[in-house]
Structure 1
Amino acid sequence: MALKRMDNVGIVVEDLTAAITFFSELGLELEGRATIEGEWAGRVTGLTDQCVEIAMMRTPDGHSRLEISRFISPAVVADHRNAPVNALGYLRVMFAVDDLDETLEKLSKQGAEVVGDIVNYRDIYRLCYIRGPEGILIGLAQELG
């Protein structure tokens, strides 16, 4: 038995449409949007009875996906969106970009804000963290040279 790939990372949001718009602006492509509910869905998540609207977004290379979810029921029970980078659990999603400055300019129009500084790591990468939709922590990295 061998691991084949990482299929997706899941993020829960309040405003699914705004999150789709933001990640589309970043360069992800919407693969599909659906409502998932029923006994089988509750069994796999452990929430027993659930109704969740999801959007599956694919990276341009086709290898990674981001599953964005909005829970209709049950109600969301915790909020970790503004947790600092050293918090336990979900930390961030990192994306490689062609042009960091151009990406930041586009995403700032969607409300994104740089968390700390844009840094140059050993002339290999320029990178930063931003807060995206609803405060979600996102890393951006531009390979140099």
Structure 2
Amino acid sequence: MGIKRLDNVAIVVESLDEAVGFFEKLGMSLDGRTMVQGDFADRTVGLSGIRSEIAVLKTPDGHSRVELTQYLQPEPIATAPSAPNQIGMHRLMFAVDDIEETIEHIGAEPLDGIANYEDTYRLCYLRGPSGIIVALAQEL
């Protein structure tokens, strides 16, 4: 008995369209988009009167998914973007072929440049929509 697989990582965002566009630029593809509401949603999440729109995106290999949620009800709670050393969800990391090309394509800036880890990986963190920290890793 135990887990069979990781189905997805869910992230609440301010703008679903903006977040979907960002992850599509990274190379993910939309797997589905729908409204979520009703008793099952309230009971699952532990909030009352949920009405949200979700989009699920998958990686090119089809093994990993990100679920983006924009709450319409109850009103979402804005927070400051997380810091890399803040307790809680830290970041999403994606393997890329060319780190500079990817950064240029998505129009983002690394938090503090691109680092070389033991001549094995080139790594950087950047901010996506709603302050999400995204890490990119290029194997050398």
Q: TM-score range by the shorter chain?
A: over 0.9
The one-letter amino acid of 1:123's match is D
Q: Is the 8 A contact 1:115 1:129 kept in 2?
A: yes
Q: Which runs of 5+ in 2 are unaligned?
A: none
Cross-structure match for 1:35: 35
Query: What is the TM-score of this pair, normalised by structure 1?
Result: 0.93
Tell me by how many angstroms 1:13 deviates: 0.8
Deviations 1:42-91 (CA, angstroms, capped at 9, x unpaired): 000001220010000000111110000100000112424x2210001111
Q: Is the 8 A contact 1:118 1:127 kept in 2?
A: yes
Cross-structure match for 2:121: 125
The one-letter amino acid of 1:22's match is F
Tell me by how many angstroms 1:14 deviates: 1.1
Q: Is the 8 A contact 2:48 2:74 kept in 1?
A: no
Query: How far apart, in 2, do the equivalents of 1:65 and 1:79 lie?
Result: 24
Cross-structure match for 1:136: 132
Query: How far apart, in 1, do the equivalents of 2:62 and 2:94 lie?
Result: 13
Sequence identity, in percent? 50
- Within 5 Å, which residues of 2 pair with 1:5-20? 5-20=5-20
Tell me by how many angstroms 1:2 deviates: 2.8
Root mean square deviation, CA, Å? 1.0
Query: How far apart, in 2, do the equivalents of 1:46 and 1:91 lie?
Result: 23
Cross-structure match for 2:77: 77
Query: What is the TM-score of this pair, normalised by structure 2?
Result: 0.96
Cross-structure match for 1:64: 64
The one-letter amino acid of 2:69's match is S
Query: How far apart, in 1, do the equivalents of 2:19 and 2:59 lie?
Result: 15
The one-letter amino acid of 2:121's match is Y
Cross-structure match for 1:105: 104
SS at match of 2:18: helix
Q: Is the 8 A contact 2:82 2:131 kept in 1?
A: no
Query: How far apart, in 1, do the equivalents of 2:95 and 2:6 lie?
Result: 16
